[in-house]
Chain A
Amino acid sequence: MTSRLKRGLLLLGVAVVLTPGTISAGSYKWVDEKGNVTYSDRPPQSAQSPATAPVVAVPLDLKNLDARPVPPLQEQDVKKYLPPAVIPRSGPTRIDDLLELSGVRAQLVGLARGLAKELRPAPGIMSAKDQASIDRVLSKSLRHETVYGLLREAFIPQVDRTNLEATAAWLRSPLGRRITMLEVSTSDPSFEQKVADYAAELKANRPSDRRVELIWRLDWVMGSSESAADLYVTLSRGVTKAVSAAGPPERRLRPGQIEEQVAEIRARVRGPLSAMHHSATLYAYRDLTDDELTAYVVFSSSDAGRWYNLAMHKAMASAVGRTVEQTAAELVRAVPVERWARVAQPAAQAVR
């Protein structure tokens, strides 16, 4: 799956902020070289915009699966993959140790870099002075250390010592470490293209029903797709609030209006985000056996796994939301909104 396709899917939701009810689910919007805006149920195809891989949803038809979960987790021989009950370690695990073990710190580096790249206008659109101001804001506000600091701050109040130690034990186990490394590798810039290539093959080589169910179930117990949708809402809310506050009073959105709009967007993007997530997960964990994946599901279903996922989701939403809102506010302070209008109406650059 390519970032272009992701943009298209995401734009679907963003566009409805300003044009509610005009775009149906599954639409794409792009602006051609002449500035014409086009809506279609297919992504744009052009020399500059090579054909993108279709969103390959890996559907799970619950009705057609066996009546029982296959196989029931409690009957699985996954103990060999789970961490030992007694943890050979002296002293309590520190928060920073846990976050380090989880790989989240490493992943935030790529995230901050990606956000900055997306926010930087294409060369030639802004004046050199404005461009320099924007770069200054981005380099100052979108530092991964800053996001990490906020995430840590939001994580601390949720700490439950028992669950923290159990989670740390899982993350220190051989399988936990291996999974963490696989997850960190998703921050590699080439990951998106690899997923796209993999997704293109899925139609011909569909994974087994068991594999698909494990992936869906992992998403269910971790809440990853729902968290992605929540984060999407957080990003939209943060940017809209910051920009709205900088605009003229008659165009400002009331907080309640922003909430209504983001709720609508969330409903629209949930499906596409879920499909993207399932493809990416299938690819990322492709080298894990079903038993290993089952062990991950078992841990994620445990009290510790539930606590960890919930705490991390909340902390991530808080940290990213605050960072984005602050960055957007600083951007419109540094460069007045009128001058951003040129970025908002790109002529030569396709909006996918």
Chain B
Amino acid sequence: MMTNALKALAPVLALTLCSALAAIAQESPTAPPLSDAERAVAAFKAGRYTEALATARRAADASPTAVRALTTRAAIAEFMGEFDEARTFYDRAAALTPDDTGLIYRMASHAVRVGEYDRALAHLDRLLALHPRQVRWLFQYAPTRFQAKLLREHPSLEHIVQIKIDILTEKGDLAQARRMAQGYAIVQPGQDYCGQARSVMAGRNREDVFKAFRLATLGQPDAADCIWWYGQWLSDEGYVRLGRLMVIEGARVTGSATNKESGARYVRIRLGGNRDVPKRAEQLFLIARQRYLRDDDIEGATRLFDECIRLAPGFARPYNYRALMAADQGDREAALAWYRKGLKADADSWRTHRNLGKLLSEMERYPEAEMHLRKTVELFGDDAGGHLALARVLYAEGKYDEFLKEATAAVTFLNAKTQIVDVREFLSKFDRWGPGAALPPAPDPNVIIGWNYD
């Protein structure tokens, strides 16, 4: 009955071909703007970021004294993780317009992005100095009850406060960050920021979630679960530095010894423990990931990931992405080598063991896959997807009793959270008929915040 099944599939060929052709045969609707700078902005707005950067570079090279061309190039370069280039062109623009408040703010923001906090603070001082004397006096000395109105009337002052709060937080001085947030009425006493943040979660807008939980962290220092959750959410988003700070803070605040232990384990197996990840490396990682996943910019992503690894050799995530890229290109051996480098850098990286185990499973190298997937579930026992991946490997090896144990554990855990009809159906058939030809399904449902993405 082999080709009978195949015959049923024949029409898919034509249909897939038609569908795929229809998708790529659409015409591009954009009309070219006049100048390179305008074209760069248009390309950026249209999401063609690589093209935007190339066009912005041409524009700035062609007009080295045009502030707009220089700032456009700097901003797009920063967005694309070309931080040195961004700084160079911000500086050139600033030399031409030293009192441009918007530009100074961008330079401060860029400095924070790469972790150069002192330089950022100097820019903020310069920005403040450009305000009238009376405004500066009120900003520095007026009581809290006047600050909300002042910041509303002078948004640039609020920008200064927000950046300073971020700097304090990122440097680990959460107490001072909270005092500042209270002092400038960014947060008010008695507000349920945590409850508001949880309600924002329903909308799933990342920016909103980020802002809401940031406020909760600043305004409700005792909300251990909320802070902890924020840290795990940040970890999924890739903000490993801030995520680590928040998980550690949540674990510090909680009264539960179990939770404290769980927090310590999370930091160790998910965030690299005490391994230093400089801010610049973290940001390079975030942008490299986007350049690969969003822009399909293999060259750019590779360069940024490699730079990230150079700056933070103990940071496992970029190794995982280099492995993913190699696997995507069909070079599985290179992918294995990258995962192994990742484990050499961080032997307790749950994600690296997991990814490596799953790739080895795909390659039918089951004994090795079993070793890494066992380590995966040993590191994180509630990893249902990991248990199912391990169960599949055990089945392939003919270790049916162990398969049953792992699969049943995962089903028991997942039943309350998600539907896994395929797995349950497979187990029913296995129970009745014994081993079948096909390997068991190994879905990987994302059910626990903080363990879903890298």
**Which residues in A have some Cβ–Cβ distance to B below 8 Å?**
3, 6-7, 10-11, 13-15, 17-18, 62-63, 65, 69, 104, 107-108, 110-111, 114-115, 117-119, 183, 186-187, 191-192, 216-217, 220-228, 231-232, 235-236, 239-240, 243-244, 246-252, 254-256, 259, 267, 270, 273, 276-277, 280-281, 284, 300-301, 306, 309-310, 312-313, 316, 320, 324, 328, 331-332, 337-338, 340-341, 343-345, 351
Contacts and interface: CB of A to CB of B under 8 A. Distances in A.
Contacts of A226: 437-438
Given A108-B3, A111-B3, A250-B48, A344 B14 contact: no
Interface stretch (B117-125, B378-386, B428-436): B428-436
Contact of A186 (B1, B18, B428): B1
A326 to B, nearest CB: 12
Contact of A235 (B16, B23, B433): B16
6 contacts: A7-B15, A183-B3, A232-B9, A240-B16, A280-B4, A340-B18
Interface of B: 1-26, 28, 48, 292-293, 296, 324, 328-330, 422, 428-429, 432-434, 436-438
B15, B432, B433, B434 interface centre (most CB from chain A within 10 Å): B15
Q: Give chain B's interface secondary structure class.
A: helix
Contacts of B429: 62, 216, 220
A63 B324 CA distance: 42
Contact of B6 (A119, A225, A320): A320
B438 A228 contact: no
Contacts of A240: 16, 20
B3 A14 contact: no
B293 A254 contact: yes
Contact of B432 (A62, A225, A247, A249): A62
A118 B1 contact: no
B328 A344 contact: no
Contacts of A10: 8-9, 11-12, 15
Nearest to A3: B11
B393 to A, nearest CB: 16
Contacts of B7: 110-111, 114, 186-187, 192
B334 to A, nearest CB: 14
Contact of B5 (A224, A250, A309): A224
Q: For the complex of A and B, list the 10 residue pairs with the smallest distance between their C-beta atoms, beginning with the closest.
A: A223-B437, A247-B24, A107-B3, A226-B438, A344-B22, A341-B25, A228-B5, A243-B20, A255-B328, A223-B438
Contact of B24 (A69, A221, A267, A337): A337
A191 to B, nearest CB: 8
B24 A62 contact: no
A108 B12 CA distance: 17
A340 B2 CA distance: 31
A6 B11 contact: yes
A281 B4 CA distance: 9
Contact of B19 (A15, A224, A309): A15
Given A110-B7, A221-B433, A341-B25, A14 B2 contact: no
A281 B1 CA distance: 7
A228 B17 contact: no
Contacts of B14: 118-119
Nearest to A179: B1
A32 to B, nearest CB: 16
A222 B13 contact: no
A118 B437 contact: no
Contact of A14 (B16, B296, B437): B16
Q: Give chain A's interface secondary structure class.
A: helix
A272 B20 CA distance: 22
Contacts of A217: 433
A340 B25 contact: yes
Given A243-B20, A344-B25, A235 B438 contact: no
Contacts of B13: 115, 118-119, 235, 239, 324, 328
Contact of B17 (A192, A224, A267, A328): A328
A341 B436 contact: no
B126 to A, nearest CB: 40
A324 B292 CA distance: 28
Contact of A331 (B17, B25, B436): B17
A284 B1 contact: yes
Contacts of A220: 429, 433, 436-438
B302 to A, nearest CB: 14
B28 to A, nearest CB: 8
B438 A341 contact: no
Nearest to B436: A220
Contacts of A273: 5, 8
Given A183-B4, A312-B2, A251 B23 contact: yes
B16 A17 contact: yes
Contact of A255 (B2, B12, B25, B329): B329
Contacts of A6: 8, 11
A227 B15 contact: no
B4, B15, B324 interface centre (most CB from chain A within 10 Å): B4
A67 to B, nearest CB: 9
B30 to A, nearest CB: 11
Given A3-B11, A243-B20, A284 B329 contact: no
Contacts of B2: 104, 107, 183, 224, 227, 312-313, 316
Contacts of B48: 250
